[in-house]
């Protein structure tokens, strides 16, 4: 099969491993930046190019990122990926599901609508309303609507300090996502799902003195036995969002497990190092075997 791997501005270790694994499995692979992808629409046919090379005849397109850009640029890229789907190319993860997983607001209401446990979250563009909610919640967390790897997430114990952040973020045109702060037992959980199967899981332990457990923030993954209840939540969350594969982050909160995030373009280098699972191969086989 002919596979296309679209990454953001630069080629990450995960995208590179996907490409190398696909070639090892006998597939023809084209890799390129979504920023340099183009399309053609006519009444007779649709065509696509990546960095000047024709990609119209690819069977599967793996979208790893929509890349940075303006609202208009991102709109074009999202429409182009949907155009690929309409033209008969299988997109992994599916475009709309991938977009929804990137959006922390959409992720929350989709999971809640499926009856899955989430953190209580308030969204607004009104600074004063965000302040009132941060006062009501006491300790709270701000999350960028399109953030990843824990970057930009802020914890506030004082609502007046939070107010200064809301004022600055409002001036920058950022929506305000105010979430209850849930205390973890020094660790969170990553469940990696491909199709309807958990292919790997690990506990994520935060660096000393840090409230975040993201590996990108100094955390570490450890392969330890995992409750079946947690693994099942990972599968249910992936299914609820309509994703082919996902990295699901779950917290063991005092009231029970809570789904923190569902990543539609998860990294797996730390998980692979901890568990030995060849995640890239599982993703490629799922996408090309009609899974």
Q: Both 72 and 128 in a single domain?
A: no
DSSP 28-51: EEEEEEGGGEEEEE-SS-EEEEET
- CATH code: domain of residue 203: 3.30.470.20
Q: Both 212 and 110 in a single domain?
A: yes
DSSP 230-274: HHHHHHHHHHHHT-SEEEEEEEEETTEEEEEEEESS---HHHHHH
Measured CA distances, 215 to 129, 185, 279 (Å): 33, 17, 17
Domain that holds residue 244: 101-116+183-288
Task: Output the tens digit of pLDDT for each of the chain's 291 residues.
Answer: 999 999 999 999 999 999 999 999 999 999 999 999 999 999 999 999 999 999 999 999 999 999 999 999 999 999 999 999 999 999 999 999 999 999 999 999 999 999 999 999 999 999 999 999 999 988 999 988 886 665 778 889 999 999 999 999 999 989 999 999 998 888 899 999 999 999 999 999 876 666 666 676 667 889 999 999 999 999 999 999 999 999 999 999 999 999 999 999 999 999 999 999 999 999 999 999 865
Q: Both 198 and 275 in a single domain?
A: yes
Q: Both 191 and 166 in a single domain?
A: no
Q: Both 15 and 135 in a single domain?
A: no
How many domains would you assign to the chain?
3
Entry pTM: 0.91
Q: Both 109 and 220 in a single domain?
A: yes
- CATH code: domain of residue 8: 3.40.50.20
Q: Both 16 and 83 in a single domain?
A: yes
Place of tokens 């030995």: 276
Closest CA to 76 of 25, 136, 18, 34: 34
Q: Both 71 and 108 in a single domain?
A: no
Q: Both 233 and 272 in a single domain?
A: yes
Q: Both 139 and 196 in a single domain?
A: no
Q: Both 106 and 250 in a single domain?
A: yes
192 class by beta-carbon count within 10 Å (0-12 exposed, 13-18 middle, 19+ buried)? buried
């Amino acid at each position: 099969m002919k596979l296309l791997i679209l990454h953001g501005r630069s080629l990450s270790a995960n995208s590179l491993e996907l490409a190398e694994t696909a070639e090892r499995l006998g597939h023809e692979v084209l890799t390129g930046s979504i920023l340099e992808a183009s399309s053609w629409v006519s009444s007779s046919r649709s065509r696509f190019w990546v960095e000047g090379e024709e990609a119209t005849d690819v069977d599967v397109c793996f979208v790893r990122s929509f890349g940075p850009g303006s609202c208009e640029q991102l709109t074009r890229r999202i429409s182009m990926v949907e155009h690929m789907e309409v033209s008969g190319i299988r997109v992994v993860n599916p475009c709309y599901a991938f977009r929804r997983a990137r959006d922390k607001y959409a992720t929350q209401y989709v999971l809640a609508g499926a009856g899955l446990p989430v953190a209580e979250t308030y969204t607004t563009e009104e600074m004063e309303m965000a302040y009132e909610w941060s006062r009501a919640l006491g300790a709270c967390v701000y999350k960028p609507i399109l953030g990843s790897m824990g970057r930009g997430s802020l914890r506030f114990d004082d609502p007046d300090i939070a107010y200064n952040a809301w004022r600055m973020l409002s001036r920058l045109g950022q929506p305000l996502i105010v979430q209850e702060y849930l205390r973890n037992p020094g660790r969170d959980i990553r469940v990696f799902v491909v199709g309807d199967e958990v292919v790997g899981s690990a506990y994520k332990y935060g660096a000393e003195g840090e409230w975040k457990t993201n590996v990108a923030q100094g955390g570490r993954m450890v392969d330890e036995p995992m409750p079946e209840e947690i693994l099942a939540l990972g599968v249910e969350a992936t299914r609820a969002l309509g994703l082919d594969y996902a990295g699901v982050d779950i917290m063991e909160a005092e009231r029970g497990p809570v789904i923190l995030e569902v990543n539609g373009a998860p990294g797996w280098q730390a998980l692979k190092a901890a568990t030995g699972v060849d995640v890239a191969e599982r993703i490629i086989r799922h996408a090309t075997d009609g899974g």
